[in-house]
Amino acid sequence: MSLNDLSATQAVDKIQKGEITSEELVQACLERIDQIDGEIEAWAYLNPDYALEQARKLDLIRQAGDPIGQLHGIPVGIKDIIDTAHVPTELGTPIHSGRVPFKDAWVVSRLRQAGAVIMGKTVTTELATYAPGKTKNPHDPNRTPGGSSSGSAAAVASYMVPIALGSQTNGSIIRPAAFCGVFGFKPSFGMIPRSGVLQQSLPLDQLGVFARTTDDVALLTQVLAGYDETDSATTFLRATTSLISVAAEEPPSPPKIGFVKTPVWDRADEMCKGAHEELCETLGENVEEIELSPSFGHVLDHHKIIMEADLAYSYEHEYESAKDLLSNSLRSQIERGMSYSAVAYHQAMSQQVVLDDILGGLFQEYDAILTPSVSGEAPIGLDNTGDPSFCTIWTFCGVPALNIPCLPWRKRNADWHPACGSKK
């Protein structure tokens, strides 16, 4: 096993025991990037010298016997909408070319405190919306990796880094995680503070993580969860569950799972439908199909009004000063956003509370909901990032969502190497 194949949890253990150094791990990841990123293009900014400098300093701290953090020496990819001090953060648009923040986002500060190595900035779509960046799917470069957290998902899937950060305002973590075949986790709204992150929509923006194991999802989320008085979504001090302990434990009893097709089931292709039917058969009596209330039938409309109105507000400067540099897709969203009335916006917002109450009742009866992450496999072509509609309900309601890469494509392609798209 190459060092870049290690999960973050495995690498932390080996670094703590002195079996490997952070410099060796980072060097292995850099060699992997040099080997395959010319085709995948997951990185918006990468400075190998800066990454290795951080690793060497962290190795000296460990060698001196000083206290170390939960991610000591582990390289992490940072989506290019998350401010990183003295590192270009260009938001996926030429409008902000050359932008270099002077201060870390809250989550980047948290990573540094935990001893992580800031590996570089991963590609985002244009201002984290729908116009694709340069990244290609690591399994098939002719297919989309999804978006908007394209680079983070592709970098983790192709073993360039073990973990990475992303964001989701509609389907921007779950969709690329599904298309690239990795775990993607969007925790509950407000669990991870957003200060220093590009703002699209305050009621919808959520941060999350990418990893190749559930242990790594738990580890990274545990580090990032916290209280930030400058983020209105995290204004309540609250204890955080030990996700690492939960991930390591067997459930006390078999979980009761509700299978939800959602109002957009007709958008799922036959492979997706068949895969979920097979999964439900495998789970047997632990899963039962449930129907959501008809109130969920208009979620896509409510979400669209809120998101596009907020885009018009958040990106007013970009639209007014450099409209010609925006994609047709984003210009259209902003212009539609300008047309919505305040009444329509508040009516849409009011549905969040209504639908949250309904879901709260479901979670009194079911431990988890099983539902598609996407409508099918990653579409061929790089001109769009795929349909996010299967993610919309869960983003709109702010409930945690986890993409689990476990469906039958892995069986059909058992000899397919997910790191580089070649037979092994």
Amino acid at 37: D
Taking alpha carbons only, the member of 137, 141, 140, 22 closest to residue 73 is 22
CA dist 424 and 414 (Å) reads 9
CB 400 within 8 A of CB 185: yes
Structure tokens at 339: 């047309």
Would the CA dihedral through 213, 218, 223, 225 be positive or negative? positive
- Residue 57 CB contacts under 8 Å (≥ 6 apart), including other chains: none
Mutual orientation of helices 22-40 and 48-63 as an angle, nearest 10°?
Answer: 160
Residue ranges with strand state E in 252-379: 257-260, 287-290, 368-370
Question: Which residues are designated catalytic?
Answer: 79, 148, 172
Q: What count of other Cβ atoms lies within 10 Å of the Cβ of residue 310? A: 20
Helices then strands (H, E): number in the chain? 15, 12
Instruction: Classify residue 415 by burial, with Cβ atoms within 10 Å: 0-12, 13-18, 19+.
Output: exposed
